[in-house]
Amino acid sequence: MKARTYPFYFAGGALALYLIFFVIPSIMGIFYAFTDWNSYSTEVNFIGLNNFRTIFSSGAGQNYLHFIRNTIIFTITTIFLKTAIALGLALLLTGGIKRLSYFHRVVMYLPAVLPILVVSLVFKSILNPATGLLNTFLRNIGLDFLAQRWLVDIHLALPSVIAVDTWRGVGYIMVILIAGLMAIPDEYYEAASIDGASGLDSFWHITIPLLMPVLTVTTVLNLLYGLKVFDIVFVLTNGGPGRATDTVYTAIFDEFSKGRYGMATTLSTLLFFIMIILGYFVIRLMHRETEG
């Protein structure tokens, strides 16, 4: 009866597109990861675990572990920065101020709907060491020593990229946290204040525990985004200076454009397995949320 009212072929279109453009390339990728597939020869040879060995031993002139390290640093730092700043702003907009709260919410979410390409281009000019707005501003208020060579300095490039991405993503996380905060009943806070709890007590013993499920979701979103980060790095620094800011995805693009398809697909496959394992936990998490 159910199968007749809700025929499975309804799902066919979505399933077909998903299989063709997501699943099949990923499975092909696993196969090609064991080959020397490249643009210079039509032959594709099986080379076993060689590609993986190249990634995990950094002697081959290309420091792949460095890209993986950058990706992990980027991911972890942006998770912490975005969550902390977004939580601060969310608390401010739900409790600190009443008037204009919705206006601020709309403005702060704006960076999340702009193309990452555009955000990166504009920040490239803002962070220009000689003429950029940031350094001009710092010099004008007498803080010359803070005017750095942001995206050009090998030690500051990655932190600068992280800062720009935090700017871009914080409003999005904030909006989710605001919804979470508004779902906490006021009675809890009233009861706590009658019992003599301070604002800080309520924050640690009511807000944080009740916000935990939402914080988990935002962390997962930041995690999935961070591991796959590409656009912002590609446009801001293109992996430079040198290869100081290269991440896994920009390295894949680099290998791809040099015609080393086997290597590119090996990096992709590595990421695929990590994401699938994470995805499994994410789905269990979301599942629990929707059922509960």
Partner 1 sequence: MIIRKIRGLFNHSVALVASLIMFIPVYLVVVNSLKTKVEASSMGAGLPTTLNWQNFAVVIERGKLLTAFGNSVLYAVGATLIGTTLAALAAYVLSRNRSRFNRFIYFFIIMGIAMPTNFVTLMKVMQLTHLINTQIGIILLYSATSIPFSVFLIYAFVGTLPRELDEAAIIDGCSPIRLFFSVIYPLLTPVLITAGVLNLLGIWNEFLLPLYYLNRSAYWPMTLAVYNFFGQFESDWSLVSADILLTILPVIIVYLFAQRFILSGMTAGSVKG
- In whole angstroms, how close is the CB of 103 to partner 1 at the nearest point? 8
How far apart CA 263 and CA 32 sit, in angstroms, is 9
How far apart CA 181 and CA 32 sit, in angstroms, is 47
Q: Which is nearer to partner 1, 156 or 235 (CB)?
A: 235
- In whole angstroms, how close is the CB of 154 to partner 1 at the nearest point? 22
How far apart CA 152 and CA 238 sit, in angstroms, is 11
Nearest to 178, CA basis, from 290, 89, 108: 89
Q: Is the dihedral of CA 169, 106, 203, 180 positive or negative?
A: negative
Nearest to 227, CA basis, from 263, 274, 286: 274
- In whole angstroms, how close is the CB of 31 to partner 1 at the nearest point? 9
- In whole angstroms, how close is the CB of 258 to partner 1 at the nearest point? 12
Phi, psi angles (nearest 5°) of residue 97: -130, 150
Distance of CA 182 to the CA centre of its chain: 25
Q: Which is nearer to partner 1, 117 or 146 (CB)?
A: 117
How far apart CA 50 and CA 67 sit, in angstroms, is 18
Q: Which is nearer to partner 1, 121 or 155 (CB)?
A: 121
CA distance from start to end of the chain: 28
- In whole angstroms, how close is the CB of 156 to partner 1 at the nearest point? 19
Q: Which is nearer to partner 1, 133 or 155 (CB)?
A: 133
Burial of residue 192, with CB atoms counted within 10 A of its CB: 0-12 exposed, 13-18 middle, 19 or more buried: middle
Q: Which is nearer to partner 1, 190 or 289 (CB)?
A: 289
Tokens encoding 82 = 């975005």
- In whole angstroms, how close is the CB of 153 to partner 1 at the nearest point? 20
Q: Which is nearer to partner 1, 39 or 155 (CB)?
A: 39
Q: Which is nearer to partner 1, 66 or 104 (CB)?
A: 104
Q: Which is nearer to partner 1, 14 or 194 (CB)?
A: 14
* Contact by Cβ (8 Å): 135, 128: yes
- In whole angstroms, how close is the CB of 272 to partner 1 at the nearest point? 6
Cα angle, residue 269 at apex, residues 268 and 272 outer, rounded to 5°? 90
- In whole angstroms, how close is the CB of 237 to partner 1 at the nearest point? 15
* Contact by Cβ (8 Å): 186, 159: no
